[in-house]
């Protein structure tokens, strides 16, 4: 019986020793796990700090680049404004120079028109107003010289000659032609001024062969400006006033519904 208790006590002692050893091993494993976790957390924290620092640098770089772009944009706008101002100044100077050259050329050509023909003979008075002015060519000569300038591509010079003819020889047979060709000299550059001259032909010289041509041309100008109603009125005036003219046939075609 005593031996049984001894064996039992020894077994318990041995079991107690074994249990303590297991607990110690578990504690060691837990400690190692805690150490490893702490190291992993520390490494993760360090990596996160590194990433955060990198993101901060990227953000700072973007802010800096944005500031540089804004500065460049401002400089670009300033430069463009300066360039635009310089272009405007150049255009103004160029326009002034061209206008001055045109004026000088017109003056020279106008003087050439006056000096190209000999003065009219004393006592000649084709217009009834300028026989005493021996420096001015006659109406027929002035008309021909102006017409030559128009055909040569100098409408401004031609216009000066025609206007001088109307001022100096208002009753000359060439007056209606001169007024008509003043309209022609404006035809390409200023249709409104051309229309005014053609209206003067119809108003002041209704019996001239130029009158129906002027009315038909007024209709064409109105069409080009998109004024269909105004064009029809001109064509109708042409048919009513000059039904036998060649322009009347053209006006009839223009007034057809399918035209």
Predicted confidence (pLDDT) per residue in 192-223, tens digit: 999 999 999 999 999 999 999 999 999 999 99
Q: Is the pLDDT of residue 255 over 70?
A: yes
Alpha helices in the chain, H assignment, sequence order: 2-116, 139-151, 155-168, 175-186, 191-204, 210-224, 228-241, 246-255
Count of other CB atoms within 10 angstroms of residue 245? 18
139 contacts 169 by C-beta, under 8 angstroms: yes
d(CA 188, CA 180): 14
Question: Average model confidence (pLDDT) for the chain?
Answer: 79
Segment 109-121, tens digit of pLDDT: 556 555 544 444 4
> Quick one: which of 156, 161, 126 has its CA closest to 142?
161
d(CA 93, CA 191): 27
d(CA 120, CA 132): 9
End-to-end CA distance of the chain: 143
Three-state secondary-structure class, residue 6:
helix
**Predicted pLDDT of residue 131:** 43
Residue whose entry in the numeric block shows the structure tokens 């804004």? 70
Measured between alpha carbons, how far is residue 108 from residues 92, 111, 112, 114, 243 in Å?
24, 5, 6, 10, 44
Q: Is the pLDDT of residue 183 over 80?
A: yes
d(CA 113, CA 146): 7
Contacting residues for 164 by C-beta, under 8 A, at least 6 apart: 136, 142
> Quick one: which of 203, 204, 160, 207 has its CA closest to 181?
160
DSSP string of 116-168, one letter each residue: HSPPPPTT--SSSS-TT-TTSPPHHHHHHHHHHHHHTT-HHHHHHHHHHHHHH
Phi, psi of 153 (to 5 degrees): 90, 25
Phi, psi of 171 (to 5 degrees): -105, 10
72 against 250, higher pLDDT:
250
Segment 54-67, tens digit of pLDDT: 888 888 888 878 87
Most confidently predicted of 1-10, 44-53, 181-190: 181-190
Residue whose entry in the numeric block shows the structure tokens 């032609």? 177
């Amino acid at each position: 019986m005593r031996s049984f208790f001894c064996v039992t006590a020894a077994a318990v002692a041995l079991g107690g020793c074994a249990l303590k050893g297991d607990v110690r091993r578990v504690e060691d494993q837990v400690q190692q796990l805690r150490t490893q976790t702490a190291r992993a957390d520390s490494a993760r924290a360090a990596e996160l700090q590194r990433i955060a620092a990198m993101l901060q640098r990227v953000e700072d770089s973007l802010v800096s680049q944005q500031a540089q772009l804004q500065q460049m944009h401002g400089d670009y706008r300033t430069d463009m404004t300066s360039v635009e101002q310089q272009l405007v100044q150049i255009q103004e100077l160029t326009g002034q120079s061209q206008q001055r050259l045109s004026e000088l050329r017109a003056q020279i050509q106008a003087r050439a028109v006056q000096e190209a023909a000999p003065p009219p003979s004393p006592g000649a008075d084709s217009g009834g107003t300028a026989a005493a002015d021996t420096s001015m060519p006659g109406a027929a000569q002035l008309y021909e010289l102006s017409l030559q300038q128009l055909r040569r591509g100098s409408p401004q010079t031609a216009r000066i000659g025609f206007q001088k003819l109307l001022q100096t020889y208002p009753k000359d047979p060439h007056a209606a032609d001169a007024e008509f060709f003043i309209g022609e000299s404006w035809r390409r550059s200023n249709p409104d001024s051309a229309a005014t001259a053609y209206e003067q032909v119809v108003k002041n010289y209704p019996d001239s062969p130029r009158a129906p041509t002027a009315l038909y041309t007024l209709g064409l100008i109105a069409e080009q400006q998109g004024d269909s109603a105004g064009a029809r009125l001109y064509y109708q005036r042409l048919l009513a006033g000059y039904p036998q003219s060649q322009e009347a046939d053209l006006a009839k075609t223009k007034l057809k519904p399918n035209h």
